[in-house]
Amino acid sequence: MTPTLAYAARSATSPLSPFSFERRTPGERDVSIDILHCGVCHSDLHTARGEWGGTLFPCVPGHEIVGRVSAVGRLVSRFKMGDLVGVGCMVDSCQHCQPCTDGLEQYCDNGFTGTYNGPEQGTGANTYGGYSNHIVVRESFVLRIAHTEDRLAEVAPLLCAGITTYSPLRQWNVGPGHKVGIVGLGGLGHMGVKIAAAMGAHVVLFTTSPGKREDGLRLGAREVVVSKNADEMAAHAGSFDFILNTVAAPHDLDAFLVLLKLDGTMTLVGAPASPHPSPGVFNLIMKRRRLAGSLIGGIRETQEMLDFCAHHGIVSDIETLRMDQIETAYERMLKSDVRYRFVIDMATLTA
Ligand code: NAP
Ligand code: ZN
């Protein structure tokens, strides 16, 4: 067993605070990782505050993990001590159902094991995430980092925000000649803008924050629309091939569905605590539009995304935090005041 320092929520209403526990003894297929940085995803906040229900307490969030391998089990072949690696939203799955066999572990028929909020395969124990200084992960859920070490903190958010936007952009074949909307410029949205632009699409950012206009253009959008402005929205009616909606709060989906052209799709990745108002059926029927959803991405695709981002020089725009600033980060996230991902420097987590 490895003594581990962490920050945990003890209940849905208590602020995160220091917590100590022991990681499992590494097995022969396990990789032990000293965590160097961990991104802060809005899902961490939803879970720590019990907004989705089903949170197991104490809860140690964090699923945008980068670090250095400190030891490997006897049968581990792809990693060695000293390697820079990443861990995303999953640490295990059944590995034998059809989705797992197809590299779609996030859709495992038997339920994947989240990096936090478990349950661990076999034991049913709660899993503890990346707001900690050490983690033990099965080799097949550990990712290689191709970026240089000096970019490591900026790579952390790719492990969730990167793959959650890359996967639907790939699934709907986004590329040159496509007009693609990204809704919300937060952690996911800013990765969506960068990745869709690198895929060659004409990217339009939709934001509720007029102050993010310049950033949207700098990040790769060709146009920025303030979604509260009806005239700006109307100018894009019926013109989009694909819209990726990352918004973390319930809102009017019709305002975006009417911007899709014939056979266009809007995919929701944002997962608000309460439902969106139901969209009007006629907006879907009249142009055979589709409303879809997408969950993170499989391990194979996550590696593909990391390599794609390294190749295109893509990292996240980050603001570094001390571990004890996490509650301030959550409050700023609720005010859409993130530019554009908080990343915790794990060296600031001390006993
Ligand atoms: P975030 O950094 O807080 O960004 C969300 C953005 O949504 C905000 O920056 C804001 O952008 C916009 N927004 C917030 N409130 C809004 C409102 N009331 N109306 C319209 N726009 C609003 O959050 P994130 O980490 O990117 O996560 C976004 C959502 O995706 C969360 O619900 C998270 O749990 C979910 N998620 C899903 C998956 C998945 O697999 N599907 C994976 C990870 C996260 P503007 O200021 O530009 O408007
Ligand atoms: Zn996440």
Span 270-291, pLDDT tens digits: 999 999 999 999 999 999 999 9
**Position in ligand 1 atom list of the atom nearest CA 188:** 26
Average pLDDT of the chain, as a whole number: 97
In the predicted model, is pLDDT for residue 351 greater than 80? Answer: no
Residue 30: band (very low, low, confident or very high) from pLDDT cuts 50, 70, 90: very high
3-class SS string, the chain: CEEEEEEEECCCCCCCEEEEEEECCCCCCEEEEEEEEEEECHHHHHHHCCCCCCCCCCECCCCCEEEEEEEECCCCCCCCCCCEEEECCEEECCCCCHHHHCCCHHHCCCCCEECCCCCCCCCCCCCCCCCECEEEEEHHHCEECCCCHHHHHHHHHHHCHHHHHHHHHHHCCCCCCCEEEEECCCHHHHHHHHHHHHCCCEEEEEECCHHHHHHHHHHCCCEEEECCCHHHHHCCCCCEEEEEECCCCCCCCHHHHCCEEEEEEEEECCCCCCCCCCCCHHHHHCCCCEEEECCCCCHHHHHHHHHHHHHHCCCCCEEEECHHHHHHHHHHHHCCCCCCEEEEEHHHCCC
Residue 123: band (very low, low, confident or very high) from pLDDT cuts 50, 70, 90: confident
In the predicted model, is pLDDT for residue 322 greater than 90? Answer: yes
In the predicted model, is pLDDT for residue 121 greater than 90? Answer: no
Q: Read off the pTM.
A: 0.98
What's residue 65's pLDDT? Answer: 99
CB-based pocket (< 6 A), ligand 1: 41-43, 46, 160-161, 164, 184-189, 207-209, 212, 246-249, 251, 269-272, 294-296, 333, 336, 338
Tell me what the mean pLDDT of segment 105-132 comes to: 95
pLDDT in tens, 126-149: 999 999 999 999 999 999 999 999
What's residue 58's pLDDT? Answer: 98
- Domain boundaries in the chain? 2-160+297-348, 164-293
Superfamily, domain 164-293: NAD(P)-binding Rossmann-like Domain (3.40.50.720)
CATH number belonging to the domain at 2-160+297-348, selected among 1.10.760.10, 3.90.180.10, 1.10.3720.10, 3.30.1490.390: 3.90.180.10
Which of 44, 209, 214, 247 most suits a substitution to test ligand 1, by most atoms within 8 Å of the C-beta?
247
